[in-house]
Amino acid sequence: MSKQELGALEVIGQGAACCPGLATAPLDDERATELAKVFKALGDPVRLRLLSMIASREGGEVCVCEMTPSFDLSQPTISHHLKLLRQAGLIDCERRGTWVYYWALPGVLDRLAAFLTTARTAEGTHA
């Protein structure tokens, strides 16, 4: 795994306690750069749809052969988008024979959501 891939995995707190939320304290340059890589991966409509298809799949995993027909894109293009989601630390995969199966990494979306959640005051407004 490259340094870039390892850095992306650290962004979402793999194997570590989750980072403070966005509203807790200002981000330093390094943390902002790391998180930007993850959000950049999510910033493409195709990748966002792919992640949604994977994360919402009953049983927790989906074959690339089942996702490809949902797009007007070639299989290599779909594989490229899936690779970017993997490099961002959002999903993982396993080859089984000819096909590759994908799943969302446990807790990743929850940690991203927690990062974006802001504290609320007693009146129910944003702090």
CA distances from 109 to 54, 86, 96, 105, 115 (A): 12, 13, 25, 8, 10
Does the pTM of the predicted model rise above 0.85? no
What pLDDT digit, counting tens, does each position of 21-67 carry?
A: 676 778 889 888 888 888 999 999 999 999 999 999 988 899 999 99
What pLDDT digit, counting tens, does each position of 44-56 carry?
A: 999 999 999 999 9
Q: Are 21 and 116 in contact (CB under 8 A)?
A: yes
